[in-house]
Structure 1
Amino acid sequence: MTGAKKLLLASLALGFIGGYVDTVGFVALFGLFTAHVTGNFVLIGAELSRASANSVLLKLLVFPTFIAAVALARLVALRCERTKTVASRPLLVMQTVLLLVALVCSVPAGAALAPDAPWAMATGLFMTAAMGVQNAAGRLAWPALTPTTVMTGNVTQVVIDSVDLLRGAAGPEVRDRLKRFIWPVVAFAIGALSGAFAYAGWKFWSLLLPLVMLVGLVVMDVRSDHKA
């Protein structure tokens, strides 16, 4: 498989994982965004405005957790630079381990979840840390990779390029960019739908699917020098 094809496959897989994990967290953990963490600002405001507000501690803790995960990913990437090794595989392994720990924490959490229950909070925070690493890896390990966790910018670019394509003003660069941006959006949407149905059927065991996909990406070893 060529480098470009590997990068496209990684973009699709990570886009799917981004939508899938974000939806599992939202459905299971009282509206928690684990990938699109800034969305929690809206939810915090909505909760605090209600007379019978639920605990917002978990949503508040995701911000330092996300920051810590990104900072740790940066340190790992810097160490890889010093040792002249590729950062993509270590970062994927880190994300896999964090998501696996989230799954382990979900077992004692059980079905009786509450917004401030310790094991439920641990599950959400480790899911957030895993997605923080994915956010960081897109910048640190694969500079040519389209963003795979927050789709607003991707959708905006797809619409702009589609308009240019329809009016006959799209050159090769625009066409190439449209191909790169549209597939992660599609994969994210499919992942979000799949995550909702998977959690309904298998609860947190649904996280096994993205874990298997991450292991597959680790084995495939998409290198940062592969260009789209």
Structure 2
Amino acid sequence: MTGAKKLLLASLALGFIGGYVDTVGFVALFGLFTAHVTGNFVLIGAELSRASANSVLLKLLVFPTFIAAVALARLVALRCERTKTVASRPLLVMQTVLLLVALVCSVPAGAVLAPDAPWAMATGLFMTAAMAVQNAAGRLAWPALTPTTVMTGNVTQVVIDSVDLLRGAAGPEVRDRLKRFIWPVLAFAVGALSGAFAYAGWKFWVPAITAGDARRSGRDGCEDGSQGVIASEWVIPFRREHHEQRPGPHPGRPATGL
């Protein structure tokens, strides 16, 4: 498999995970963005403007959590540089561990679901940390990889290149870039839809998305300059739980477990 195909596989897998986790966090945790964290600024402002505002503590805590996780990922990558090893494996392991911890926290969180409930907050913060590591890995381990957690820039580039393609002014470079940018967008969309429907049907458990295998390529770097790829299967286990619905934080919105 060529380096370009490996990067495509990585962008599809990580794009799906980004959309999946962000949607589950938004649906289950009172509108929390775990991947697109800056979107929480809008939600904080909207919440505080209401007369009966809910707690915004969780949305405020995601910012230092995100920063700390990115900083930790950078330190891991620096250590890998010193030891001349590929950073992709430890970063993927870190993300997997954080998602598994979020899964563990979501079990007791389902018993008391509120914006400021400790277990619910822990679940959201660990999910945010996992997405922060994925964001950082895209820059530290796969510099040639298109963004996989925030799609605004990707969609902008896809539209620009599509217009040039329709004008007949798209050269090989534009066509190649269009292919690289459009697939993560589609994967993110599929992940978001999957997360919404999976949560609606299975409730309670936040999905634990684990990397089955993260291994380096035959050489220290891929043909396109990236330092490693995901050559793995991504497993998304769920467990169906039945709980009595409790009154939600907003009128007409039932609270369900994570």
| Superposition TM-score, scaled by structure 1 size | 0.90
Partner deviation per Cα, 1:95-114 (whole Å, 9 max, x = no partner): 00000000000011115310
Contact 1:102 1:122 (C-alpha < 8 Å) held by counterparts: yes
CA deviation after TM superposition for structure 1 residue 208, in Å? 6.1
Q: Distance in 1 between matches of 2:85 and 2:168?
A: 44
Q: Distance in 1 between matches of 2:237 and 2:17?
A: 6
Q: Distance in 1 between matches of 2:60 and 2:235?
A: 27
Q: 1:23 to 1:210 in 2, by over 3 A?
A: farther
Bigger fraction of residues in helix: 1
Aligned-residue identity in percent:
96
Contact 2:13 2:234 (C-alpha < 8 Å) held by counterparts: no
Contact 1:17 1:210 (C-alpha < 8 Å) held by counterparts: no
For CA contacts below 8 A with separation 6 or more, give which structure has more relative contact order. Answer: 1
Of residues 33-42 and 192-201 in structure 1, the stretch that sits farther from structure 2 once superposed is: 192-201
Partner deviation per Cα, 1:1-31 (whole Å, 9 max, x = no partner): 3322221111001000000000000000000
Contact 1:103 1:204 (C-alpha < 8 Å) held by counterparts: no
Contact 1:34 1:131 (C-alpha < 8 Å) held by counterparts: yes
Contact 1:58 1:115 (C-alpha < 8 Å) held by counterparts: yes
Q: Distance in 2 between matches of 1:78 and 1:196?
A: 36
In angstroms, what is the RMSD of aligned CA positions? Answer: 1.8
CA deviation after TM superposition for structure 1 residue 203, in Å? 2.3
Q: Distance in 1 between matches of 2:204 and 2:141?
A: 29
Partner deviation per Cα, 1:173-203 (whole Å, 9 max, x = no partner): 0000000000000000010000000111222
Q: 1:210 to 1:155 in 2, by over 3 A?
A: farther
CA deviation after TM superposition for structure 1 residue 82, in Å? 0.3
| Superposition TM-score, scaled by structure 2 size | 0.79
CA deviation after TM superposition for structure 1 residue 209, in Å? 1.2
Contact 1:21 1:207 (C-alpha < 8 Å) held by counterparts: no
Larger Rg: 2
